Amino acid sequence: MKIDIEQVPEFYRTYVRFLQDETVVEQLQSSAKDFNYLLNTFSNEKAEHRYAEGKWSIKDLVQHIIDAERVFCYRAMRFARNDKIELPGFEQDDYANTASADRRDIQDLMSEFTSTRYSTISFFSSLTDEDLKRTGTASGAQFSVEILGYVISGHLLHHLEVIRERYL
């Protein structure tokens, strides 16, 4: 399915530029495969590397991806259930600063990512075309359920590019 870029809130367009011409569920599956392929080769030492002072480690980045996916999927579930209450944003740096990802084993983080993504795929697989078209507002922007699914994949692929460019 082609994404209509005009339906994607401007801030999130950076993420969806990475996507292929696939359904939401196919994209969730393929982006997870790419992520697992790269990250499952990282040792704990390599996963604690920061490319500059004050930047996140790979472990911090994986935890951020998990946290953001949970937030985006929660939003999608609320909108799919026709909840019209506007949802607030979240401050990613506050989450990262309190998650203590560097104390965890990278394989434990990757296992949590896999579990989270499996849950996300199960949720999106359960939705009808009508569910996917429902909309809601979060962080001051309007999203369809389907667009949120694409944002989840695109967000992951964005961070994969960051890892390849700055950490390898």
Q: What is the pLDDT of residues 80-122, one digit of tens each?
A: 999 999 999 999 999 999 999 999 999 999 999 999 999 999 9
Q: Residue 18: phi, psi to the nearest 5?
A: -85, -10
Residue 61 domain boundaries: 5-166
Alpha-carbon span 157 to 141, nearest angstrom: 21
Q: What is the pLDDT of residues 95-104, one digit of tens each?
A: 999 999 999 9
Q: What is the CATH number of the domain that holds 45?
A: 1.20.120.450
Burial of 8 (0-12, 13-18, 19+ CB in 10 A): buried
pLDDT of residue 7: 85
pLDDT of residue 168: 85
Question: The tokens of 77 are what?
Answer: 């579930």
Comparing CA positions, the residue from 167, 160, 162 lying closest to residue 38 is 160
Alpha-carbon span 48 to 109, nearest angstrom: 12
Burial of 20 (0-12, 13-18, 19+ CB in 10 A): exposed
Q: What is the pLDDT of residues 52-78, one digit of tens each?
A: 999 999 999 999 999 999 999 999 999
Alpha-carbon span 168 to 155, nearest angstrom: 19
The pTM for the full model equals 0.94
For the chain, what is the domain count? 1
Quickly list DSSP for the chain.
----GGGS-GGGHHHHTT--S--HHHHHHHHHHHHHHHHTT--HHHHT--SSTTPPPHHHHHHHHHHHHHHHHHHHHHHHTT--SPBP---HHHHHHHH-GGGS-HHHHHHHHHHHHHHHHHHHHT--HHHHH-EEEETTEEEEHHHHHHHHHHHHHHHHHHHHHHT-
End-to-end CA distance of the chain: 32
